[in-house]
Structure 1
Amino acid sequence: MKVLIVVAIAAAGIAAGDFMGFQPALTEASGPTAGLLGFALAYQSISFAYYGWEDAAKMAEEIKDPGTALPKILVGGALTVMVLYLLINVAFLGVLTPAEMSADPELIAALTISSVFGPAAGKAVTAAALIILLSSLNVNFLGLPRVAYGLAQHRLSPQAFTEVDDRGTPRKALYFISAWIGLLALSGAFEFLIRFMMTVAIAVDTMVLLGYFKLRAQRPDLERPFVMPGHPWLPAITIALYIVILAILIGTQPKMALGAGAMLSAILIGGLATTRSRVNKSD
């Protein structure tokens, strides 16, 4: 249903638009670092739009033959989402200019359809957007409890999260994640939360990529059913890009960076403590 809504909006905008939104309408930023700053800030929002493409990996334990299935799911899903997002953005720019988008507080998809079919159609799109939002939240309700469950198995979160019901659902972890998501939603600080979350996510993804190199060096014997394309240059370039983005975000958003740093420090301290505990037990 979500895909059909996005395709319908994209088709309407592309068919009815005059594409004036593609005309140069924005003033160019000045200064040697302005382009990098704009890129880093824009990347936060863009990466948030795509984030979640990896959620299937969080449920690998429930997937048959994950070594073969997961790469197809992840790559296929990411490519599908990319095509949909490109189409709907072409539709937005086909009907609206960037100035019109920034001047109106209305949902851009609703504003686009209102411009083509009238206000009533715009309200219908707003209602459809709420349905899409609920389905997106549902993905978090499915994936995040599994993360808490996995962490608990390695003693990185409360042991209560390892308990599952008769159907294999980590119910206590699910209740905790649901309550936490609800509290964040009630805070209303959506823009700050998005920027905060993506700063942490970019930092964590950087550590995951560094771990990828470490694991290949320390455990070359591990079975690897999927070979990363472009190894080692693609992950190395991604790490370098993420480090630059993080440096810019820390320099321009110090309060948010402080909170993100505190969270990352807690993660690192917890991981080191767990590793040390395992080493001591093995000795």
Structure 2
Amino acid sequence: MSDQPKSFQRSFGLLDATMIVAGSMIGSGIFLVSADITRNVGSAGWLVLIWIITGVLTLTAALSYGELSAMFPQAGGQYVYLREAFNRLTGFLFGWSFFTVIQAGSIAAVGVAFAKFSAYLFPVLSEKNIVADLSFIKISAAQITSILLIVLLTFINTLGVKEGKLIQTGFTLAKIAALLALILFGCFAADKGVWDANWQTGFDLHKMTEHTDTLAPYVGLAALGAIAGSMVGSLFSSDSWNNVTFIAGEIKNPERNIGRSLFLGTLIVTVIYVATNLVYLGVLPLKEIAFAENERVGVAAAVKIFGTRGTYIIAGLLMVSTFGCNNGLILSGARVCYTMAKDGVFFKQLATLNKNAVPGKALWIQCAWASVLCLSGQYGQLLEYVIFVVLIFYILTIAGIFRLRRTRPELPRPYKAFGYPVLPLLYIVSAATICFALLVYKPMYTWPGLGIVLLGIPVYYFAWRNKS
């Protein structure tokens, strides 16, 4: 054990950190969730506005996190911020939710998305191809593919930071370039008639059905519920931007580079997401966006832009996108488990680095749990459950800025939250409003998520509190 590294190596520069932010955000969501948003809001204006609101909220949160990351430039990110601002239990409840559902569920979902789109090019990998029927569970080729992807990326990341960051930076640059190319070709393929017809809907807010063109608009609080429900997909598509904070212990000049990477990464993705939706509106009638086959708006748009080969082009892009996205999730997520273990509130065995100065054991336990979720098929439902919880923890974390300024004013703050106190407060109010609307109008998204969090309380007190 004497040759085991005692601390992380600072190997990530600003470009690497920015690519972790952008790469962890861009998965398959931008190619899928616009269908559900369009059905809920019923107009071109609100489709674009939902993505803009999501982007503004994400940017605001990212700019606020810069202050916290500069104060606590160590592995663990949001877990550390909540622990320092409030108490160890609050930090643990985030870490518990993060490990059991948020990160592992995202890894599983992105892995299965990789397999589904790989099946366009290699039909044998289809989820319809059942390779084992164990009576109590059926295992498809897609599930096996997703697990193999997770195992491969986990193994690569156990080899050291250099290998993980090469994949992350390379694949993220490739998918940003591909998305920009899709946007550019989409502009050339845009149909003015389609564009004008879509924008005739303006900013009307109503639910769309496949066989009815005009429906009564939402009234009063129902409109707020529709907007909040629509944002479930866009918020998840824009989530994981904070993953870079989990690897703060491995970033060069973290006091400055984490804040910069958060801003640059979220800005890049926000611009790409809004531009991609404008392309959808330029090539697809609104109803074809809303009722795209299997929600695959990106595939429908690519067919309009590139012809029949568009399906294969978008499938290839999605394979690159989800591969890079999962690498970022796997690389960063294990650092939270490691930091919790160091604090004595998680498995003690995970509080070690391997000979390559990465948390190898934490990577493998994360891999095992994400693989179980792949087999269970419940990752999608779990992710829907926790969007409310994700927002609650973001609200608490940004509220922590206000609390720390009052309780620990002596701490060095080389970077201060942009627009403080107005922008952080704006985020808290906006996110709280969305949470309230979800609580009232989408209870299926809220109560199960709260249950998962609350389950962490007895786990903390009865299993981990006295461990060290």
Tell me whether the two structures share a fold, i.e. TM-score over 0.5: yes
Q: Which residue of 2 aligns with 1:202?
A: 391
Deviation per CA, 1:15-51, whole angstroms, max 9, x where unpaired? 1112243331876332211220112112221111111
Q: 1:140 aligns with which of 329, 332, 345?
A: 329
Q: 2:257 aligns with which of 58, 69, 90?
A: 69
- Write the distance in 2 (CA, Å) between the matches of 1:109 and 1:188: 23
Structure 1 runs (4+) greater than 3 angstroms displaced: 20-23, 185-191, 266-278
Q: Is the 8 A contact 1:112 1:122 kept in 2?
A: no
Q: Bigger shift: 243-252 or 81-90?
A: 243-252
- Write the distance in 2 (CA, Å) between the matches of 1:84 and 1:70: 21
Q: Which residue of 1 aligns with 2:131?
A: none
Q: Which residue of 2 aligns with 1:183?
A: 372
Q: 1:97 aligns with which of 278, 285, 299?
A: 285
Q: Structure 1 residues 190 and 10 mapped into 2: Cα distance closer, same or farther (>3 Å)?
A: farther
Q: Which residue of 1 aligns with 2:188?
A: 15
Q: What does 1:94-243 correspond to in 2, within 5 Å?
A: 94-106=282-294, 107-189=296-378, 191-243=380-432
Q: Which residue of 1 aligns with 2:271?
A: 83
Deviation at 1:231, TM superposition (A): 1.3
Q: Structure 1 residues 186 and 21 mapped into 2: Cα distance closer, same or farther (>3 Å)?
A: farther
- Write the distance in 2 (CA, Å) between the matches of 1:272 and 1:208: 22
Which amino acid is 1:149 matched to?
Answer: Y
Deviation at 1:195, TM superposition (A): 2.1
- Write the distance in 1 (CA, Å) between the matches of 2:366 and 2:376: 16
- Write the distance in 1 (CA, Å) between the matches of 2:368 and 2:415: 36
Q: Is the 8 A contact 1:96 1:112 kept in 2?
A: yes
Secondary structure at 1:237's aligned position in 2? helix
Q: Which residue of 2 aligns with 1:34?
A: 222
Q: Bigger shift: 61-70 or 155-164?
A: 155-164
Q: Is the 8 A contact 1:152 1:158 kept in 2?
A: yes
Q: Which has the higher contact order (CA 8 A, sep 6+)?
A: 2
Which amino acid is 2:306 matched to?
Answer: F
Q: 1:6 aligns with which of 146, 157, 179?
A: 179
- Write the distance in 2 (CA, Å) between the matches of 1:233 and 1:263: 32
Q: Is the 8 A contact 1:21 1:95 kept in 2?
A: no
TM-score, normalised on structure 1? Answer: 0.89
Deviation per CA, 1:161-192, whole angstroms, max 9, x where unpaired? 11221011111111121222233334445653
Secondary structure at 1:24's aligned position in 2? coil
Q: Structure 1 residues 111 and 211 mapped into 2: Cα distance closer, same or farther (>3 Å)?
A: same
- Write the distance in 2 (CA, Å) between the matches of 1:274 and 1:206: 27
Which amino acid is 2:326 matched to?
Answer: L
In the alignment, structure 1 residue 264 sits paired with structure 2 residue 453: yes
TM-score, normalised on structure 2? Answer: 0.55
Deviation at 1:220, TM superposition (A): 0.2
- Write the distance in 1 (CA, Å) between the matches of 2:414 and 2:374: 39
Which amino acid is 2:199 matched to?
Answer: F
Which amino acid is 1:8 matched to?
Answer: A
- Write the distance in 1 (CA, Å) between the matches of 2:258 and 2:244: 7
Which structure 2 residue ranges, 5 or more long, are not aligned? 1-173, 207-216
Q: Percent identity?
A: 24
Q: Is the 8 A contact 1:95 1:112 kept in 2?
A: yes
- Write the distance in 1 (CA, Å) between the matches of 2:397 and 2:257: 21
- Write the distance in 1 (CA, Å) between the matches of 2:185 and 2:279: 7
Secondary structure at 1:231's aligned position in 2? coil
Q: Structure 1 residues 89 and 152 mapped into 2: Cα distance closer, same or farther (>3 Å)?
A: same
Deviation per CA, 1:230-273, whole angstroms, max 9, x where unpaired? 21122222222222211221223334422211222244666789
Q: Bigger shift: 22-31 or 128-137?
A: 22-31
**Count of residue pairs the alignment pairs up:** 279
Which amino acid is 1:96 matched to?
Answer: L
Q: Is the 8 A contact 1:12 1:91 kept in 2?
A: no
Q: Is the 8 A contact 2:229 2:438 kept in 1?
A: yes
